[in-house]
Structure 1
């Protein structure tokens, strides 16, 4: 039905174009004829007419499922596989397969063309676009929508100024004095170190005590006994500077001794240090009675503290900017 209407329109336009006095008259007559047939043609375009006139027409074709799908690669491959066999060219399904097969085989059959910039097609197109009126003629008599306008834009000049300057800033910085304490082993003259005690006679009224203190370059060893009842000095055995310094290993060294008709005793001491901890051992012997006793005591190594001063100049960067 649509084919018949189009054919009729073509015949009508052909006949009218012969009788038209101008291109504008022919256009107006053809437009009027086309509008007069719109109502009749529109009434024939509906579902019932298409179903009876178009082979294979359906209101719900399966291809509607392609809409919104992530891809059509799988349906396309299925359609190509379904059209591998030959069919009747008059059958609508076979015609669809002919189109599918053509799309698969045509890329390998199409001739390859090499079109350069000097090809007559491109040169002719440039000639047409450069001056359409020279090819198609003037349309001033048939269309009045185009007008010729000449616009002149004057030259524009602009003056731009650029200012470069440094702003005034108020900045502050600090110079920090860093005081670092350093501990070194050592003690001052007369500083008490430790006491070593021994009780060689549990039934006696006193027991032995040895006090060690720092000297200028040695130890002062003070030997005496302490009364068990009062804790006071019961008998002085003497004092003596003995060789020795902190943080050293000292073997058994003689201390205060007295062997005469009144007293009979001998003392010795030793020192052993491991890291910051030291231990002093003390011996008391009575050569007249051939008895000997030993005691030991551990003490933390005394230290002296010295300080080093370091300035952290946080203003160096700002001072460099002022140079």
Structure 2
């Protein structure tokens, strides 16, 4: 059996040396033809007494036999030592041509693992060697039976493995991939204008005399307060010298809108006296009333200043509304 194994290795070596040809199928065919052409010659040289001379490195006491241990051993350590021996020495230090060929293959694969795929492209589904391997794997009895003269191959037997189970602990780390995300937290502020008028009062307005003054809320906050200047009873308002009624002065006191108006206000029947009334608004909070002299000298009513209190008040209510568009991203944080 040892001789047959070495013969297969020699033939396989012949086939392997041809795989550098671009067409692997043609290379296989060439290798097969070459191997068959030399099979008879080589086989005739292999005898019990002459195996060592015909087969390089043949021995009946090969040290590698101890690695197998009847199928219970491990080839890992010897293989690693063999690889180390080839990769730590140079080609010119190899013992012979056969060792050199083996080590050169090891050196190439170790130095550039991808190079073998370029130099020896093998299609695992169509390569003839792979096809044969798959056939043997699928039905070894049927395939190998044709190689023997005594019937089906009987080298495969059931064995009980006594080597204990081995366990390997593998550790991996799982991380969240950092990805930059943007989101918005939008604050919407609703401003509501609230206006009210609680009444208007006057400070500093005189009592008695020719004039009366009143004040009240305007129709809207823009119009502010309403100020009215009239002639006090029993006097009457006449326009110039005619016995016709003339209305008093009524004006809106708007913030930021000052004015200065003058109007005929009072005419007496005695001496035909009259007076011009003048009203000045400063646009803030003060009304000034002037009684200008008429035709008989001397004002009928002196100058005075009135403060406007109260009136329209403007306030604002603020309502905050948040639109949190980042809730989904926040939920992912650890």
Higher strand share: 1
